[in-house]
Copies of this chain bind each other. A is one copy, B any other.
Amino acid sequence: MKASQSKVILYSFYRSSSAWRVRNVLNYKGIKYEYAAIDLLKGDQDNPEYEKLNPLKRAPVLIIDGQILIESLPIMEYLDETRPEKRIYPVDPVLRQQVRTICEIINSGIQPMQNTTFMDKIEKWFKQDPTPFVVHLNHEGFKILEKMLSKTAGRYCFGDEITAADCVLVPQVYGSAKRFGFGLTEYPIMEKIMNNLLEVQAFKDALPAAQPDYPGDQKLKQ
């Protein structure tokens, strides 16, 4: 393998929840990587060079094993298949299916309807502040998640082992709560899981404020 093929590079934006999922997995598995910042607010994703890497023009892109990989969940599956130590998808097919189900409820059921791109599109089209609509959809999703996790949760989403579901849950819950300013009192199970996960060093290191492109709390308030 050539040197250029062995280098791992993550194109990330500190607050992109999809990039954050991949940071959780890379950190948890102890895979060293170079951080390449893509400022989604400034439009770095529209740069033709970046578009060659990701035609979807969003974060993340992972360069690994000489490959250009996009889409967070498929990247997570790839990492678990090629680096099975600290497995995030359980071996048992039924449990794997359940873990993937929680990932998908967030990935296709909650996240697409509350990300910045979607909100911009709604605002532009309907000429209304999309926030109340998006917060309403977010709570609908969280209610279902809380119910489903009540059947499987231990210390984390599935018992006491960290899985892909935890790597996807943290960015969604932390991100929504921060952006829309809601607490988790209605969601005690998720709140407990979040508290437990945020004690794990790999997850702490993946937080937006720990990323090189984090602008600092001062700037965020502007």
Cβ-based interface call for A148 (8 A): yes
The answer for the CA separation of A67 and B95 in the assembled complex, in Å, is 11
Chain A interface, number of residues (Cβ within 8 angstroms): 41
Query: Which of B71, B109, B111, B136 contacts A100, CB < 8 Å?
Result: B71
Cβ-based interface call for A94 (8 A): yes
- Could you tell me if B56 and A109 are in contact, using CB atoms closer than 8 angstroms? yes
Q: How far is the CB of A77 from chain B (nearest CB, A)?
A: 6
Residues from chain B with a CB closer than 8 A to the CB of A133 are 121, 125-126
Cβ-based interface call for A105 (8 A): yes
Which residues does A use to contact B, with CB under 8 Å? Answer: 55-56, 65, 67, 69-71, 73-75, 77-78, 81-82, 93-94, 96-98, 100-101, 103-105, 107-109, 111-113, 118, 121, 125-126, 128, 133, 136-137, 144, 147-148
